[in-house]
Structure 1
Amino acid sequence: MRLLSETSKSGMNKRLISIAVSVAILLIIYSKIDIQHLLEVFQKSDPLWMTVSLGMVIPITLFTSWRLQQLMPKDTHLDFIEANRLILGASVLNMVLPSKMGDIAKAYFMKDRGHLSGSLALSLVIFEKACDMLSLLLWCVFGLFIYSPKDSFFWVMTLAVAAGLILGLLLLGSRQFAAVFFVNAIKIAPKKIKKKLSSAQTAWEEMHSYFWSDRQQLLKISLTSIFIWFLHLLQIWLFMVALRAWVPFWVNFALSPLAILAGLLPLTFAGVGTRDGALVFLYAISPSPPYFGEATAAALGLLCTSRYFLPAIIGLPFLSQMMGAAKKMRNQ
């Protein structure tokens, strides 16, 4: 219990540091932007398209919940309503707990409700997150390959994202490659991470056994994940339409995923700051000529942050259930 308490305090300290970094980056960004101009961008926005773009949270959540249902073994049952509760509850916990612990709590909650074993529940969540990451990388590679003109920065990003996609596909598609990867990663990892990698390796092996036994289900989940991330990127493009900032739709496939990937770096709170800075750079600074001004890019950053806060707000009624699962998970 003492070790768990120390781990919890360490996680909280990291979360406070990430919030401080987010605030610092935002202060730098907004110190270079006319706040009055930023307010005018929102005042001149299109109310209809703003409503439609923010409302995209609903179909994205519904499709994500349906995918969670499809991930369940055929001899188990997860209600669509309960799947939505799990997705929304995990969104809340991911905002307040470090290291995406909301998704881990979601796995424990499924186990606690008797849906499936603990190791298989963790495997499903890992596979779900792997599909999300690979789908994002796939759209990013697609967008970057057709994006032009590309300078050295975008060529480096294209190669890096393509390498990440290939690595992810090899880990997901080849059990032998995954085994070699985890063995070597465990050897060179710090002591604190070795145990986590060992647990991840076990869950990954079980995931391989489960999903590759049913190729039809694997294909259905993969295509659904790709479509869900199409909806995510469509929502960001609709944000631009709502802000009356025109960007070709295909350009959005290249630049928005890069900003999302920047937000996934473990530096800031929920990606706030790094994602905003990336949007300003990619849309308002780097292109020549820029697609729109820095104030509009900052407004886009705020709307992108709402993509994470809105599901968390909607999921607040389910927080107590998920917190109970998180506490039980921590006490085991």
Structure 2
Amino acid sequence: MKRYKRPISIAVSVLILCIIYSRIKPEELSKVFLDCDLMWMIISLGMVIPLTGFTSWRLQQLMPPGSGMGAGEANKLVLAASTLNMVLPSKMGDIAKAYFIRDRGYLSGTLSVSLVVFEKTCDMLSLLFWCAFGLILYPQKDAFFWTMTAGVMAGVTLGLLLLGSAQFANFFFGMFRKITPKGISQKFKSLQESWQEMQQHFWQDRLQLAKVAGTSIFIWFLHMVQIWFFTLALKATVPFIISLALSPLAILAGLLPLTFAGVGTRDQALISLYEGHFDATTGAALGLLCTMRYFLPAIGGLPFLRTYLATLKTQQKAATDG
């Protein structure tokens, strides 16, 4: 079933895009881009550079003192992981990053996985934080937005409990191990072990923990600003606080394991969520620009992909031989 997962996700993405673009005239979409504000377009797309830089700097801060990882190496890791995340299922590019960190001798194998788990946890919690912040201040909440606000707040609470309480984390993972099939239960066991090591390692230095958490929140604030800049580039009038509430919901929709790299679900979410502020054609254009947020770093990681692939092949061979 695993080998069919990626073709199925691509097929679902294509199907959703076909439905979206069956309702949009190509000449109208072209006109949106031709009439865009070029300065804001350059600024918004150019934000992938500082975003990559801050993400790389955070990776350096996550490494233990004396690990020897420089800024150049961290940038290569982040960019190559972005490339692999576009083609591998379930964000396996980040798991490959953990193997690569171990392969270069920066950390032990289990600790490198723990680092990646902590990094992704910080990302998710930061995204949920800004989503909750925006939704709380969102002025026109109906039943849907009240439900989303409650759900996001519950997600933030759950994430903080998992991160801060070892007892709650063990209870949570243990519960899921009991109610899931054996194959999935084993994955939860591995995640639980990595989570325990992550908690033990990162809670030793609370000042460093606060620095990494603050950096993650700032990075995701820049992500939200970038999407708002996209709306300015498309000459759409959307207050920043509105965008701060809506854009994280679209990103969360793109994280659902239904489509290829979120393409399709994220696009439709943007069109539906912003329908009170601009038409579907502009929403589709915004969806394309949001896809570029992932595509540009992936292109930037191509020169470093050979090293990454060699690491992956080594790990797969070791697993087969074992």
Q: Quick one: distance in 1 between partners of 2:5 and 2:239?
A: 39
Q: CA deviation at 1:148?
A: 1.5
- Match of residue 304, structure 1, among 285, 290, 296: 290
Q: Quick one: distance in 2 between partners of 1:126 and 1:36?
A: 44
Unaligned segments of structure 2, at least 5 residues: none
Q: CA deviation at 1:330?
A: 2.2
- Match of residue 51, structure 1, among 36, 42, 57: 42
Number of matched pairs: 318
Q: Are 2:277 and 1:291 equivalent residues in the alignment?
A: yes
* CA RMSD, 1 decimal: 0.8
Alignment of 1:152-191 (within 5 A): 152-191=143-182
Q: Which residue of 2 aligns with 1:328?
A: 314
Q: CA deviation at 1:256?
A: 0.1
Alignment of 1:249-260 (within 5 A): 249-260=240-251
Structure 2 counterpart SS, 1:88: helix
Alignment of 1:139-218 (within 5 A): 139-218=130-209
- Match of residue 110, structure 1, among 101, 112, 135: 101
Q: Are 2:7 and 1:16 equivalent residues in the alignment?
A: yes
Structure 2 counterpart SS, 1:100: helix
Indicate the larger mover: 54-63 or 93-102: 93-102
Q: Which residue of 2 aligns with 1:239?
A: 230
Q: Quick one: distance in 1 between partners of 2:59 and 2:273?
A: 33
Q: CA deviation at 1:12?
A: 3.5
Structure 2 counterpart SS, 1:99: helix
The letter for the 1-side match of 2:254 is G
| 8 Å Cα contact 1:12-1:98 kept in structure 2 | no
The letter for the 1-side match of 2:104 is R
- Match of residue 280, structure 1, among 271, 288, 295: 271
Q: CA deviation at 1:120?
A: 0.3
Q: Quick one: distance in 2 between partners of 1:224 and 1:183?
A: 31
Alignment of 1:33-72 (within 5 A): 33-72=24-63
Q: Given the two structures, how large is their TM-score scaled by the length of structure 1? A: 0.95
Q: Which residue of 2 aligns with 1:224?
A: 215
Q: CA deviation at 1:131?
A: 0.1
The letter for the 1-side match of 2:278 is F
Q: CA deviation at 1:325?
A: 1.4
Unaligned segments of structure 1, at least 5 residues: 1-9, 285-289
Indicate the larger mover: 183-192 or 130-139: 183-192
- Match of residue 93, structure 1, among 81, 84, 88: 84
Structure 1 counterpart SS, 2:90: coil
The letter for the 2-side match of 1:41 is V
How many percent identity over aligned positions? 63
Structure 2 counterpart SS, 1:206: helix
Q: CA deviation at 1:327?
A: 1.6
The letter for the 1-side match of 2:213 is S
Q: Quick one: distance in 2 between partners of 1:217 and 1:141?
A: 25
Q: CA deviation at 1:75?
A: 3.3
Q: CA deviation at 1:29?
A: 0.7
Q: Quick one: distance in 2 between partners of 1:42 and 1:180?
A: 51
Q: Are 2:114 and 1:123 equivalent residues in the alignment?
A: yes
Q: CA deviation at 1:192?
A: 1.8
| 8 Å Cα contact 1:263-1:275 kept in structure 2 | yes
The letter for the 1-side match of 2:94 is D
The letter for the 2-side match of 1:281 is S
| 8 Å Cα contact 1:105-1:329 kept in structure 2 | no
Q: Quick one: distance in 2 between partners of 1:275 and 1:207?
A: 31
Q: Quick one: distance in 2 between partners of 1:205 and 1:61?
A: 28
Q: Given the two structures, how large is their TM-score scaled by the length of structure 2? A: 0.97
Q: Quick one: distance in 2 between partners of 1:245 and 1:46?
A: 10
